Amino acid sequence: MPKRDKAPREEATSRKETYKGHEILFPRDQRRKKIFIDGRPVNWGEANGTFYLDVYAYDRGETLDETIQRYLNYLDQSGSKAAQEVQ
């Protein structure tokens, strides 16, 4: 039986962004529900059409990007121990 030619797969790539000096890495597979902020893993989820981060589930956004930005803004404004751990 002859081998079938497989169509080349589109290689999924991760997306890397910087926001206020923090490096954010979105993995290739969004089903993992994990991003990396400054090299540290952060779990995220969706509920009722909003996104949240496990480390800051109090504030939600309409997009994952917005939610991450809100979390980083909170860290920058609070000057808390959590902000020092992420930096």
Residue 11, domain member (yes or no): no
pLDDT score recorded for residue 9 = 47
Residue 21, domain member (yes or no): yes
Task: Tally Cβ neighbours within 10 Å of residue 26.
Answer: 18
Domain that holds residue 27: 16-86
62 secondary structure, DSSP code = S
pLDDT tens string 7-58: 444 445 789 999 999 999 998 887 789 999 999 999 999 999 999 999 988 8
Residue 82: pLDDT above 60? no
d(CA 64, CA 78) in angstroms, rounded, equals 21
pLDDT score recorded for residue 85 = 55
Helices (H), 1-87: 64-78, 81-86
pLDDT tens string 58-73: 889 999 999 999 999 9
Residue 54, domain member (yes or no): yes
Residue 79, domain member (yes or no): yes
SS3 content of the chain, % helix, strand, coil (to 5): 30, 35, 35
**Residue 68 is part of a domain; what is its CATH number?**
3.30.1880.10
Q: State the residue for tokens 């809100």.
A: 70
Given pLDDT bands bounded at 50, 70 and 90, which one contains residue 3?
low
